[in-house]
Amino acid sequence: MKKLFSLVTILALTAVMTVQAQERKPDWARWHYLSEEEMNTPVRNEMFVETDPPAGEPRFVGEFEPMQGVMIRYPLGIPTSLVVDLSNNCMVYCIVSSSYQSSAQSSFQSAGVNMSNVTFVNAPSDSYWVRDYGPWYIFEDRNPAIVDNRYNRPRPNDDNMSQVFANFWNIPLYGMNLQHTGGNMMEDGRGHGVSDELVFNENGNNETNVRNKMRDYLGIDPYHVTIDPQGDYIAHVDCWGKYLAPDKILIAQLPASNSHAADYDAVANYFATTNCCWGYPYHVYRVPEPGGYTLAPYTNSLILNHSVYVPMGDNASYNQGAIAVYQEAMPGYNIVPVYNNDWSISWENTDALHCRTRGVMDFNMLFVDHREVLHGEQEWQASYPVVSKFIAYSGEPLKSDSLLVYYSIDGGEYQVSHMTATGNPDEYVGYITGFQAGAEIDYYVFGADESNHRYTQPVFAELDPHHFTVGAFNPTSELTITPDTLWFSDMGQTKTFNIINGTEGDVTIETIEPEAGSALNIWEPTLPYELHAGESVTVEVTLQTPPLKADLSYNIQILTSLGQYQVTAMVSDVAYDMGLYIPGAPVAELTINEPEVEIAVVNGNYGTHTPIEITAVYEEVENDGYWLALSYNDLPYSLSAGETFYITLRPYPVVGKGMVNTRVIIESDDRNLIYEVFIDEDLLSVTEVTAETKLYPNPTSGQFTVEGANVAKVEVYNLVGQKVFETENGKRRTENYIDASNWNKGIYLVNIISQNGAMETKKLVVN
């Protein structure tokens, strides 16, 4: 009992001493000063140089967007264990002087840091508050750049860090003549930003000048400048709030008895009644904090790709509550609690994890920018267009078949709508269709580019999608087709039109027929199709080859129970003398998931009408897992302008082999084409012959034998898919003697079929 009392007494005294120590801590520590002397030293900005703002359009990237890395400084202001976690997430850019680098490297290696994801940036620094003095990364149009500001601390090395990283990345540096710090800035990546009133106070209360510079250098407009609900200390927004997504903001919440609780509530109410960039009020999430001197720095967290690193405080119950709030607000993210027991660099309510790190945006990210978000109750439309920009900062092309709208009607399975170009720069549209009045619609936009960057809006996809309600249906007594004109500028393009039933009754779509010779491929619903009142359907049209007609336009006729309608297709700027090509792409890909598929090769010399001679077609096999039987016209083949040459592919599995990829090569006097072929894994599900079979001699120049206990049939094919031999079906033989003496020399595929239908394929060489 005495031991228990002594332990309790010690813990209580320790807690009292800790609180007293915190209460005695001078203001310079709370204000991110290195000492009381530094706090009283005039600010020197020898390193800052003002420049004109970016000539292009600036976009200040949000913290929750894709990051290629994170900046820290050594000696550290964060636990080494956190560096381990960060290095397994992305690249860690560690600012370190050359004299400290060996120490940093040794410390990291000992702790288990992934050193392949660590880059040391040699530069002198004065402090570890990288958030405050580090570079502000932006895109200027499609190019990365850095915006610098006047750092209001007497630390010239820290103030020079933007120049250091502009040189490191070899990207432009713009000097914005404002006193500002990273801790007092958060942005949504779409032009909205938040700071508290410190930014006005530090810049002579010239609000107009501050707002103009934030707009011109960073693209921030509107700029939400609030009160500082903490009321003292450092007055940085990351000590009490945080953007979690373009429409989500986290605000700390204090007990009602706390003197600052009403100020926190006022800021939260401001955002709850202010529209986000998507046109509706922010979703405000409150994270409870005990207030006073109890450590609870939960808004001072770091979002890094799909992880959120949350600094933990003194109270376990509040810690768990904070984690729960993040989990609710950011479904699908990995919420990582971060403890810091190193007294010399321990967390504080005004200085924690966010203050000591800074994300580095992915210079090659794919940005999905769907601004006109559908929300609330939408006025009835038979289809809802979803318009989005896709910006591939990598410079690589977008994957045209991977620009998609995913949508769910009344909680059902997600459907997919392919997006097509609108004609405006970087802009695409897809349509949500097939719903009834009063339906609840969830949706999100997905994009991918050829550099394998992918992104969704919202980033939470189906875990927390955009949502709207379909309004009441008001019949118009019309069947509408929109758009009624499709514009094509290249072969392989796909455009869409919608058939909308605005009448009070059902309408039957009988046929959808393109004009003869137009070389269109039309995806349509199974016809005839019953289009219910208020319903719509999307039809996809792909230009396979340009039409052989002078006016470069043709019609699509739509016959319905209400009469005949027409869509006009227009073709412009198509290259007519492109030679031999595969519709859709010069280097095409094909996944075989059927027993037989077809490749179409076209002579695109529409202007010169020059024929092309196809001289060879063959398979380039990577291993023996699969063979392709190819069939086509006899070679050489003279392909007239506008004519199509068809090649049929039939895959033949070899039992016991894994899935492989291969190529089909088409050689001609114009150019050689390569078709990348991928075998669907489902086709590998071939049942083996139940007893071992043998084929001998192999190679052979005459007779060969197929031997097996339960062989019912033997088929032999050459490599162009022609069957050259077949035994009589149904008669079980132990040995099958086959004469190949009159066959052409080459490779053959022998299918050995058992009584139960299982098949094994063997390769035979005839000399």
Domain boundary among 552, 569, 586: 569
3-state SS assignment for residue 194:
strand
Name the region of 280 (left: φ>0; alpha: ψ -120 to 50; beta: rest): beta
Which pLDDT score is estimated for 12?
Answer: 40
DSSP 317: H
pLDDT at 365 over 90: yes
φ/ψ (deg, to 5) at 590: -145, 130
> For the ranges 225-239, 355-369, 718-732, which has the lowest average pLDDT?
718-732
> For the ranges 79-83, 548-552, 741-745, which has the lowest average pLDDT?
548-552
Tokens describing residue 489: 């500028």
pLDDT at 104 over 90: yes
pLDDT grade, residue 180 (50/70/90)? very high
Domain boundary among 458, 474, 490: 474
Which pLDDT score is estimated for 39?
Answer: 57
The reply to whether 258 falls in a domain is yes
Q: Any idea which residue has 């001699």 for tokens?
A: 697
Which secondary structure element, helix H or strand E, spans residue 479, and what is its range?
A: strand 479-482
Is residue 286 located within the same domain as residue 429? no
pLDDT at 674 over 90: no
Separation of alpha carbons 312 and 320, rounded Å: 9
Which carries the bigger pLDDT value, residue 227 or residue 47? 227
Separation of alpha carbons 361 and 617, rounded Å: 47
The reply to whether 24 falls in a domain is no
In the sheet with 58-60, reading across from the earlier edge strand, the strands are: 58-60, 136-140, 143-150, 173-179
The reply to whether 120 falls in a domain is yes
Residue 350's identity, in one-letter code, is: T
Is residue 158 located within the same domain as residue 190? yes
> For the ranges 273-277, 484-488, 627-631, 641-645, which has the lowest average pLDDT?
627-631
Which pLDDT score is estimated for 766?
Answer: 84
Instruction: Note whether 531 and 449 are within 8 A (CB).
Output: no
The mean pLDDT of 522-550, rounded to a whole number, is 78
Which pLDDT score is estimated for 590?
Answer: 67
Instruction: Note whether 695 and 715 are within 8 A (CB).
Output: no
Residue ranges of the alpha helices (H) in 75-233? 80-87, 101-111, 130-133, 156-159, 161-169, 198-201, 207-218
Separation of alpha carbons 180 and 559, rounded Å: 65
Is residue 184 located within the same domain as residue 324? yes
Is residue 466 located within the same domain as residue 564? no
Tokens describing residue 406: 């995913």
The reply to whether 749 falls in a domain is yes
Q: What is the DSSP string of 236-273?
A: -GGGTEEEEETTEEEEEE--TTSTTHHHHHHHHHHHHT
pLDDT at 527 over 80: yes
pLDDT grade, residue 584 (50/70/90)? low
Which pLDDT score is estimated for 361?
Answer: 97
367 contacts: CB under 8 Å, gap ≥ 6: 65, 389, 390, 391, 393, 455
Comparing CA positions, the residue from 249, 251, 239 lying closest to residue 355 is 239
pTM of the predicted model as reported, rounded to 2 decimal places: 0.66
Is residue 658 located within the same domain as residue 543? no
Q: How many domains does the chain have?
A: 5
Is residue 635 located within the same domain as residue 679? yes
pLDDT at 43 over 70: no
Q: What are 714-724's pLDDT values in tens digits? A: 888 876 567 88
- Residues belonging to the active site: 355
Answer whether the bond into residue 636 is a cis peptide, omega within 30°.
Answer: yes
Is residue 136 located within the same domain as residue 197? yes
pLDDT at 651 over 90: no
Separation of alpha carbons 302 and 340, rounded Å: 15
Is residue 482 located within the same domain as residue 454? no
The mean pLDDT of 597-613, rounded to a whole number, is 79
Tokens describing residue 358: 């800074």
Separation of alpha carbons 439 and 435, rounded Å: 6
CA dist list (Å): 364 to 287, 339, 358, 384: 34, 33, 18, 31
Residue 397's identity, in one-letter code, is: P
Instruction: Note whether 283 and 247 are within 8 A (CB).
Output: yes
Q: What are 401-441's pLDDT values in tens digits? A: 899 999 999 999 999 999 988 888 999 999 998 888 899 99
Is residue 263 located within the same domain as residue 128? yes
- Work out the number of other CB atoms within 10 angstroms of the CB of residue 648: 15
Count of all residues that appear for the chain in the document: 767
The reply to whether 621 falls in a domain is yes
Q: In terms of C-beta density within 10 A (0-12 exposed, 13-18 middle, 19 or more buried), how is residue 188 classed?
A: buried
Domain boundary among 684, 702, 725: 684
Q: How many CA atoms lie within 13 A of 325 on its CB side?
A: 25
Rg (C-alpha) for the chain, rounded Å, is: 34
pLDDT grade, residue 480 (50/70/90)? confident
CA dist list (Å): 132 to 161, 522, 574: 11, 56, 53
Which pLDDT score is estimated for 542?
Answer: 85
The CATH number of the domain holding residue 468 is 2.60.40.650
Is residue 43 located within the same domain as residue 128? yes
The reply to whether 214 falls in a domain is yes
The CATH number of the domain holding residue 509 is 2.60.40.10
Q: What are 720-750's pLDDT values in tens digits? A: 567 888 887 544 556 678 888 888 887 788 8
Instruction: Note whether 529 and 536 are within 8 A (CB).
Output: no
Task: Tell me what the pLDDT averaged over the chain comes to.
Answer: 84
The reply to whether 6 falls in a domain is no
Q: Any idea which residue has 């109750």 for tokens?
A: 377
DSSP 534: T
Q: Any idea which residue has 């109270």 for tokens?
A: 315
Percent residues over pLDDT 90 in the chain: 52
The mean pLDDT of 148-152, rounded to a whole number, is 88
Is residue 449 located within the same domain as residue 483? no
pLDDT at 709 over 90: no
Question: What range defines the domain where residue 393 resides?
Answer: 370-474
Which pLDDT score is estimated for 343?
Answer: 85
The reply to whether 4 falls in a domain is no
The CATH number of the domain holding residue 147 is 3.75.10.10
Q: In terms of C-beta density within 10 A (0-12 exposed, 13-18 middle, 19 or more buried), how is residue 251 classed?
A: buried
Is residue 252 located within the same domain as residue 378? no
Name residue 765's beta-bridge partners. Answer: 747
